[in-house]
């Protein structure tokens, strides 16, 4: 019986699931991702990344108890591993959300300009993407200057498992070095950051075979499994949730909320600039000959902070949702979404926890709605929205979303990213056609 594994190397943890051809779960594994928060910011090392991914994948294979035919690997974007000629890491791996590169972002704006960066790289000029962090490393970590190869997170794991040195297109898009329309490196951005084409592995499409697992460190049930890259984690989640069809949008509603829409044509440079100005990125898609728009908010984080302030744990969320359902709206004013400090105003007599919760959830939903409408303005309205992530279990969050987003459907999947990655693994192995999915419709 063929079995296909999806590995999602994420910010909080690495998750791996082994699936049967019918989409049934055969085994699963999860390992925490360790980050060091110091005076310079948040970072880890390449060995920690590798061990987290390997342990989760081996645990899933052991739990499944069957040989794995192929493995698809999806990962967080932007972070990278710089190595020497012997593939030894030379510098820390900076977290994608680390903001130590604010001076580099300012210089990027001054030298390349927001319109060029938005129109060519498809990105807003902010401290998230690889090129500004790479320039920071060259300034502050002398060993980084001798690097001969740069891997993204998924590519690093593939290489350690025994695969080829490659970078997948959707993850290349997250670097800020890629000309998204040309599917080629943008030389001006490389030069600005102190990088060069020779530092980059060859570009490959998601779902393309890139080798087999040969390392002795892998579980015996994984040895010889075909390897493929499944791209950026949000895109893999959209594929797993069946939200990559024309007109559909994924709302990944977790701590970091992401709206993901797959389109059949590359936005023009003027359209990419408009999207970037609204905080929306454009990247090559994990689906062939398509592109993906992605807008992120920190609404889920704001909701977590509100629960902490209200003294509500997971077990008390249902009661708080019930209190919010019929609470008045408009008296509590919410500020600070997307910042380190959530602020609340209008807390007068008679305002209870349900009313506060309703206001925070509404403010987070409004942020997501603004991104949704900005996508609509450029590529046309979405015909349906599919919600995944932990906040889909909150009745109040879902009430707020249903008011604002048309055609809303809730996915039952707990790990859409691993299912999307495993789907691409099955496609790479020839067990599925290029438009087929693991499991029933």
Mean pLDDT of 248-257: 90
Residues 108-133 have pLDDT tens digits of 999 999 999 999 999 999 989 999 99
Q: What is the pLDDT of residue 85?
A: 96
CA distances from residue 6 to 64, 75, 236, 415 in whole angstroms, order as listed:
13, 11, 10, 10
Q: What is the pLDDT of residue 52?
A: 98
* Joined tokens for residue 377: 């303005």
Mean pLDDT of 412-439: 95
Q: What is the pLDDT of residue 301?
A: 86
Q: What is the pLDDT of residue 97?
A: 87
Structural domains for the chain: 3-241+415-428 (3.30.420.40), 243-412 (3.30.420.40)
* Joined tokens for residue 42: 């948040």
Q: What is the pLDDT of residue 250?
A: 97
- Its sign, for the CA torsion 75, 76, 82, 88, is negative
With vertex at residue 294, the alpha carbon angle to CA 410 and CA 35, rounded to the nearest 5 degrees, is 90
Higher-pLDDT residue of 61 and 330 is 61
Q: List the one residue out of 96, 104, 10 whose CA is nearest residue 53.
A: 10
Backbone φ and ψ for 435, nearest 5 degrees, come out as -115, 5
CB-CB contact of 391 with 357 (8 Å) = no
Q: What is the pLDDT of residue 313?
A: 85
Mean pLDDT of 2-6: 97
**pLDDT over 90 at 246, yes or no:** no
Q: What is the pLDDT of residue 339?
A: 76
Q: What is the pLDDT of residue 367?
A: 94
How much is the mean pLDDT over the chain?
Answer: 95
| Residue 202 CB burial class (10 angstroms; 0-12, 13-18, ≥19) | exposed
pLDDT band at 217 (very low <50, low <70, confident <90, very high): very high
Q: What percent of the chain has pLDDT over 90?
A: 89
């Amino acid at each position: 019986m063929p079995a296909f594994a999806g590995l999602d190397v994420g910010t909080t943890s690495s998750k791996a699931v082994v699936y049967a051809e019918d989409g049934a779960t055969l085994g699963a594994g999860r390992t925490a991702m360790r980050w060091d928060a110091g005076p310079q910011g948040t970072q880890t090392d390449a060995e920690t990344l590798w061990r987290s991914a390997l342990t989760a994948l081996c645990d899933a294979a052991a739990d499944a108890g069957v040989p794995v035919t192929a493995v698809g690997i999806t990962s967080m974007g932007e972070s990278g591993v710089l190595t020497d000629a012997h593939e030894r890491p030379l510098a820390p791996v900076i977290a994608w959300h680390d903001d130590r590169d604010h001076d580099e972002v300012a210089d990027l704006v001054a030298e390349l300009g927001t319109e060029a960066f938005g129109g060519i790289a498809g990105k807003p000029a902010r401290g998230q993407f690889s090129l500004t962090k790479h320039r920071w490393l060259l300034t502050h970590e002398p060993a980084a200057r001798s690097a001969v190869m740069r891997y993204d997170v998924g590519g690093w794991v593939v290489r350690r498992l025994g695969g080829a040195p490659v970078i997948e297109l959707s993850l290349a898009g997250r670097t800020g070095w890629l000309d998204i329309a040309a599917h080629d490196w943008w030389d001006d951005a490389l030069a600005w950051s102190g990088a060069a084409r020779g530092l980059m592995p060859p570009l490959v499409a998601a779902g393309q075979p890139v080798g087999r697992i040969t390392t002795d460190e892998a579980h015996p049930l994984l040895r010889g499994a075909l390897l493929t890259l499944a791209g950026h984690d949000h895109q893999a989640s959209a594929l797993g949730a069946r939200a990559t069809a024309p007109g559909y949008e994924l709302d990944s509603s977790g701590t970091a909320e992401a709206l993901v829409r797959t389109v059949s044509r590359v936005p023009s440079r003027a359209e990419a600039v408009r999207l970037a100005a609204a905080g929306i990125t454009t990247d090559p898609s994990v689906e062939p000959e398509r592109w993906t728009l992605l807008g992120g908010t920190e609404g889920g984080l704001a909701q977590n902070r509100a629960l902490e302030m209200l003294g509500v744990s997971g077990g008390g969320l249902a009661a708080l949702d019930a209190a919010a359902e019929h609470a008045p709206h408009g008296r509590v004013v919410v500020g600070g979404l997307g910042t380190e400090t959530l602020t609340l105003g209008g807390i007068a007599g008679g305002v209870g926890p349900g009313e506060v919760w309703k206001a925070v959830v509404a403010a987070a939903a409004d942020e997501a709605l603004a991104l949704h409408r900005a996508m609509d303005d450029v590529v046309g309205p979405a015909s349906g929205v599919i919600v995944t992530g932990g906040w889909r279990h909150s009745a109040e969050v879902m009430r707020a979303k249903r008011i604002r987003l048309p055609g809303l459907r809730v996915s039952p999947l707990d790990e859409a990213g691993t299912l999307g990655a495993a789907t691409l693994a099955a496609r790479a192995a020839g067990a599925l056609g290029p438009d087929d999915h693991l499991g029933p419709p």
